[in-house]
Copies of this chain bind each other. A is one copy, B any other.
Amino acid sequence: MHIENFGYYISMIHRHTQICFEREFKKFGFGSGQYMFFIHIAKNEGTTQKYLSEFLAIDKGTTAKAIKKLMHLEYVFAVQVDTDHRSSKLFLTEKGKEILPLVEEILNATSNKLKTEMNEIEETNTLISLQKMASNIKNL
């Protein structure tokens, strides 16, 4: 049976996590497709779409649309780079900073839900394995 297949579980976890986020982030006007960008901008003020795409290993078109939405919602704003007019530095607005702790709380709650029934050792090992798998599949 393919129950031994990692992909089966990865896909299931991913889909249900997205469903949770979709439900939880609705109150801020955005969905599961934006929170990663929001958090990364919060933790790396001044980052660009290029860096976001690289760091999240996500298509640049997808990034462009997510940022567009976050800017339209006024959680993020962009400042054109003086020395290169192709790219802009991204920052959270005041409105964005206000919801940041709430967004983080949702992320933590979901993360904790995932970790239910895991001790610290298992948690650490799982993280290591996930990192390994992510790097294995990215460089394909």
Contacts and interface: CB of A to CB of B under 8 A. Distances in A.
B117 A132 contact: yes
B9 A111 contact: no
Task: Say whether chain A's binding surface is mostly helix, strand, loop, or mixed.
Answer: helix
Interface in A106-125: 107, 110-111, 113-118, 122, 125
B129 A118 contact: yes
Given A7-B107, A130-B6, A140-B113, A15 B118 contact: no
A122 B16 CA distance: 25
Contacts of A9: 127, 130-131, 133-134
24 contacts: A2-B39, A2-B43, A6-B111, A6-B114, A6-B126, A6-B127, A7-B107, A8-B36, A9-B131, A12-B56, A12-B138, A13-B14, A13-B130, A13-B133, A16-B134, A20-B137, A114-B133, A114-B136, A117-B132, A118-B132, A122-B125, A125-B126, A125-B129, A126-B126
A16 B6 CA distance: 13
Interface residues of A, number: 47
Nearest to A56: B12
The 4 closest A-B pairs by CB, nearest first: A9-B130, A14-B14, A126-B129, A16-B137
B117 A136 contact: yes
